[in-house]
Structures are given as structure tokens and as C-alpha cells.
Amino acid sequence: MTDEISVLVIDSEPSIAEAWAAGVKKLGFVSCSTASPNVHIDELAASKPDLAVLGPSLDADSCIQWIHKLKIITPFMPILISSSAVPSAEGPGIMPLEGVYHVASHPESSEFGKTVKSALKFRDEYKMRPDYPVLIGYSEVIRGIKQRIQKVASKDITVLITGETGTGKELIARLLHYHSARGQGPLVKITCGALPDELLESEIFGFQKGAFTGAHKNKPGRLELAHNGTLFIDEIGDLSLSLQAKFLQVLEDKAFARLGGIYDKFVDTRVVAATNSDLQNKVRDGLFRKDLFYRLNVIHIQAPPLRARKPDIPILVQYFVDKYCLEHKKEILEIPAKVLKHLQAYQWPGNVRELENAVRRALALRDWGFVFRELSLEALPRGARRASSEDLAEASGWSDEKIARLIKENRFSLKKITKTCVSEAERQAIVDVLAETQWNRKKAAEMLGVSYKTLLGRIDEFRLKP
């Protein structure tokens, strides 16, 4: 029912926003409001519109920014964007895969009404998926990834996703699943590197009662649970040769037996595998079966490292700032231009996951200076190191005069200055995050992006107490 759907029109010109809202109401949408691009994200979250329309006065950058803000509120929210703002042929990263649709005309046109129907169909299809994945960015390489996902998602064939840790391989797998014919079926994940071989085998294939000591009842494996859906195998490069042989048989026969079982079970599932290993090197070294590699590598998607998509960094940073400030009910922390400059210069060996954790720590401390102190000079490329050393010193509390005096007095080497600076920043970060979490060490470790054991070691090292 259209009277149950709330629509939001965002445009920088109030008169245009009102005109478009009036046109939307004529389509039968009684609840239609307007907002300027300056509206705070928490206000939008409170109203939680079902459908958003980005008006023709917004430029391309504003549209991209608002697409990501709205997806924070509701990942499956359909968004209509005026093609006069971002022409369809040039729309960076905009496609129905994300529930974003171009409209070429005014809301009163029949074409607009048809597009609205398609958009609401997208919402109805994915509204039961609160974890609907959003691939943030509009760089050329990310546009290529989105286009590839859209092309192969509907093909019921095996996909191999490769890429470094933290590049979003699981997110790509989820998009492939939700946009396939199996999207209403289960998406089941198994991580090969997380379990020893014996346990991993029982997790994948399941077992019959009495198969081994402790097997008191039948248990289906992940393969069975993924029937009529998708099985996502993460870190498949860690699969042992013996399990590789068994899994190859499953791909060929679509059948397997539980541990301790004598009858084959037939399974209809699509396999999507991911790895941060070079499987071709493993094949050459005899650590991975060539025939299994070819079975998995029917379609290959390479998740790019963050350093290969530098134009996406400002968008990602703003996305994480908006997301976590909204989640923790905090005011938006403005991002200084020099912070973005340094974040784009850094090489991000941990990729998007590392960037996300850095932003979360900065938000917990309400201080971007912490980011400067945390990124060591050695982690920056030479050009960026020369260009940004002054800002880094200023942000970390070490002025040029202080550093020069210490070196002149032969009290510190440059290496020791850097080490001391980082140590001080690390201690202060831990103190502030522990205070933020009321000394919940597990939560603090997660926010700091370190293991629980590492955090306990640092607390002991710095002699911190509640």
C-alpha cells in the first residue's frame, strides 16, 4: 500500500524539493517529506524513510555521499537519483545491484512511476535481510567489481574470490548470494583456517551418531545446511590435501557421506570460495590440487587492496564516521583535510578493515591527532613522509623545536623519538578506550583492533589500573 510507504526527497533547492515531493504524492504516496543536504544523519535515522529521492540540484559527489549515508540507516533502502545530476553512463558505482535507480524525468511521468515500482520491489525482496551488504566506493576498480558481481551473480557456477586480508571478500560473497536465484536460500560459511583438520571435516560433512567418541547424535554438516543456497568457504587455501580430495568429489558428484555414514547424501548448493593465498603458487608447490583449483576458478573476482583504490578512502572514512557516530549516539566528528591527506598517503597493509579500526579508535578518543601518532613514519611512502612530517610532528605533540633540541643534546635518536611518540600515543589510546568501555577489556580490544591477549599485555606493560 502506497499510503504505508514513507518517501524522502533530498535537494539543495527547497522549491525543487517541494515540487518533486508534490509529484511523488500524486503517485499515491501520502507520506512524503523533504530535506536539505545539510540534514543530520540522526534526524534521518529517526524518520527512517522507506524510499529516498535525490533531486536534480545535487551534484555527483553529493549524491554519492547521500547514497552511503542512507545505506547506513537502512542497507536495503531503494534510492532514486536524478540523471540530470549524475548521467546514467557516468554514474560512479550506481546500479540496481545497490538498489539505486536513475530517473530521467519529473515524478509525474509514467517512467518515474515504473522506476518507483522496481525500487519498492527491491525493498520488499531484501527487507528481511538487515545484513544486506553495501560495497562502499566509486573508484574505477570498485565499479569494475560491482559490474562483475552483477554479471555473474545469477550464473549458478563456482566463484573464486582472491585478495589480501581485509579487502571485503566475504562482502562480495554475500552480494553474489543475495543477487542469485538462491538468494532466498541459506548462506552458510565455513572458515578452513579456524579449525584443526579432524574438526573441520566433521563441520563440513557432518557425522552420524557413533561415528567417533562424543558423537551422541546425528549432526548435519555445513554442506547439508547450504542445500538450495550458497556455501561460502573462506581461507580455502588452508584446506588440507586429504580434505581437498573429498571436496573435489563433492563438486563433481554433488554427493557426499557424513562421517560414519554409509549412504550418500545429494546436495544442491553453489560454492563460493575465498583465499588470501596465491593458489597457483600452492599448486606449483604441491600444496593445492590442480584439479580442485580449476573447479573453483570458473569465475575469478580479485578483491583490490585499499592502496589500489585511493579515491575511495575519503568516502570510506566519512561512511565509518557517520556509521559509528550514529551507532554510539555521538556528534559527528569533522575530518580535517590534512587527516584525509595522511590517510590517503598511508599504504594500509590491513586494507579496509584496518582503516575502519583506525576511524573507530579516533572516534572513541574524539581526536584525529591520534591517527597521526599511530601511523608510523616508516609506514608512509617516501614522498608522503617528506610532505607530511611537519603535520605529523605537530599532531603528535612533538614540535620541530623540541625534536631539534633533543637531537642536539644527543638525548634521543630519530628512531627513539618515533618509538617514544608512538608508545605515548598507544598508552593514551588504551586509557581512553578503556574509560569509554568502562574497562570492558574484550570490547576495548575490539575497538582498538588488537587481540584480547595483546591488550592485556599492554595494560600490564603500561601498569594501568581501573
Average pLDDT over residues 338-356: 89
HSE on the CB side for 385, CA within 13 Å? 10
The structure's pTM equals 0.78
**What residue spans of 58-168 are helical by DSSP H?**
60-73, 110-126, 140-152
Residue 352: burial class (beta carbons within 10 Å; 0-12, 13-18, 19+): buried
SS3 for 53?
strand
Q: What is the largest CA-CA distance in the chain?
A: 80
In contact, 82 and 76? CB cutoff 8 Å: no
Question: Which amino acid, 356?
Answer: E
In contact, 138 and 282? CB cutoff 8 Å: no
Confidence check: pLDDT of 389 > 90: no
pLDDT in tens, 214-244: 777 888 989 999 999 999 999 999 999 999 9
Q: Which residue has the cell 563438486?
A: 251
Choose the most confident range, by mean pLDDT, from 35-39, 110-114, 315-319, 448-452.
315-319
Percent of the chain with pLDDT strictly greater than 70: 85
| 233 CB neighbour count, 10 Å cutoff | 23
pLDDT in tens, 27-79: 888 889 999 998 888 888 888 899 999 998 998 888 888 999 999 999 989 99
pLDDT in tens, 130-176: 778 899 998 889 989 999 999 999 999 999 999 999 999 999 999 99
Average pLDDT over residues 403-430: 65
Confidence check: pLDDT of 377 > 50: no
For residues 313 and 310, what is the distance between their CA atoms, to the nearest angstrom? 5
User: Domains in the chain, start-ordered, CATH in brackets?
Assistant: 2-126 (3.40.50.2300), 140-302 (3.40.50.300), 308-461 (1.10.8.60)
SS3 for 207?
strand
- At residue 390, the pLDDT reads 46
Place 397 in a pLDDT band, splitting at 50, 70 and 90.
very low
pLDDT in tens, 70-128: 999 999 899 999 866 565 544 544 566 788 988 877 788 888 888 888 899 889 888 87
Confidence check: pLDDT of 129 > 70: yes
For residues 35 and 8, what is the distance between their CA atoms, to the nearest angstrom? 7
- At residue 166, the pLDDT reads 94
Average pLDDT over residues 297-316: 95
- At residue 410, the pLDDT reads 60
Average pLDDT over residues 278-288: 95
